[in-house]
Amino acid sequence: MRKTLVIAFGGNALLQAGEKGTAAEQWANVSRTCKALVPLIKQGHNIVIGHGNGPQVGNELLRQSAGKSQYGLEEMPMDFCVAETQGSIGYMIELALLNEGIDRQVVTLLSPVVVDEDDKAFQNPTKPVGPYYKEKQEGFKEDPKGNGWRKVVASPAPKQILHSELIKQLSSTGTIVITVGGGGIPVVVQSDGKYKSVEAVIDKDLASALLAQEIGADELYILTDVPNACINFRQENEQVLNGITLEQAKKYLDEGHFKEGSMAPKIRAAIKFASGVNRRSIITTAANLDGGTRIANNEYSTDTDVS
């Protein structure tokens, strides 16, 4: 059966630990991840791809800062930097998929994502971005590892994917759409109805989960660098999670089995999406698409399994 899949690429799909982030390294990683998707693509499913941009946007912010201090260039704001990484990363994924010889059109859509101006996250910014500075400035926090001071921005919840209707239409005709890169470009809707960018970072797994809901997807794949989520992670009694129910996932999350900033947001995104009727979330690596940690309602109909 033809399904609609949203596949969120983690950081590892673009850069691996210890790499510098050269263009050649990024091409190699993107190509490896895209190659792994070919069997799924050949099954004929509608496919939408989301991706992270942490190291890439971090480097872009550093370039802005260096450009200002060395050449007196005006620094461009974060929304420009996110848009640039959506474009460059999307372009790599497009070419890498086309080079696998798949019989599909592939397109990247830059993706503004609406957040709520009153989101509580704006009162307590937590996400460090950009270069380290020696001295404290307004809106900065000290790095716990002693590297200096860094700007922190809010991480508000995504409320609406601006282009979801268009993404749905394109993907239903078989076009592979790459979008919500880096969680999207955060914008708020002002009282006059106009959009305005805000300095913030949206969690890319939550944005992918919202997109999957909005386009009525059947499955959300969250691809990362571990084949499964575990309970008692890295302890003697560690246990790999395969198929689990929503209730189990919520219980393990409440018990603190998943680390904040890494696995916990993925589990939250997986739960958010799988809470809908007949929907399933899968957390795994690109090399393990038939396995992984699968979270579903009891009603998830097994006759539509990809296997």
**Binds ligand ADP by CB under 6 A, chosen from 6, 30, 83, 263:** 263
Return d(Cα 167, Cα 210) in angstroms, integer.
13
Q: Which amino acid is at 78?
A: M
Contact code string over 32-61 relative to ligand ADP, x by CB under 6 A: --------------------x---------
**Binds ligand ADP by CB under 6 A, chosen from 106, 161, 210, 226:** 226
Residue 11 is among the residues annotated as catalytic for this protein? yes
Touching ligand ADP, residues 7-36 (CB under 6 A): 10-12
The entry of ligand ADP, Mg ion, none that residue 255 binds, CB within 5 to 8 Å by partner kind: none
Active-site entry in 50, 204, 272, 292: 204
Residue 12 is among the residues annotated as catalytic for this protein? yes
Residue 224 sits in the site that holds ligand ADP (CB under 6 A): yes
Residue 266 is among the residues annotated as catalytic for this protein? yes
Query: What is the number of H-type helices and E-type strands within the chain?
Result: 7, 17
Instruction: For residue 186, count other CB atoms closer than 10 A to its CB.
Output: 27
> Which own/partner pairs from 167-171 qualify as long-range (CB within 8 Å, at least 24 positions apart)?
167/48, 167/109, 167/211, 167/215, 168/214, 168/215, 168/216, 170/107, 170/109, 171/4, 171/46, 171/47, 171/48, 171/215
Return d(Cα 86, Cα 82) in angstroms, integer.
6
Cβ closest to Mg ion, residue 11 vs residue 90: 11
Active-site entry in 11, 90, 183, 184: 11
Instruction: For residue 252, count other CB atoms closer than 10 A to its CB.
Output: 19
Residue 225 sits in the site that holds ligand ADP (CB under 6 A): yes
**Enclosing H/E stretch for 69:** helix 54-71
Write out the residues near Mg ion by the rule CB under 5 A.
11
Q: Which residues are catalytic?
A: 11-12, 127, 204, 266
Residue ranges that bind ligand ADP, judged by CB under 6 A: 10-12, 52, 224-226, 229-230, 233, 257-259, 262-263
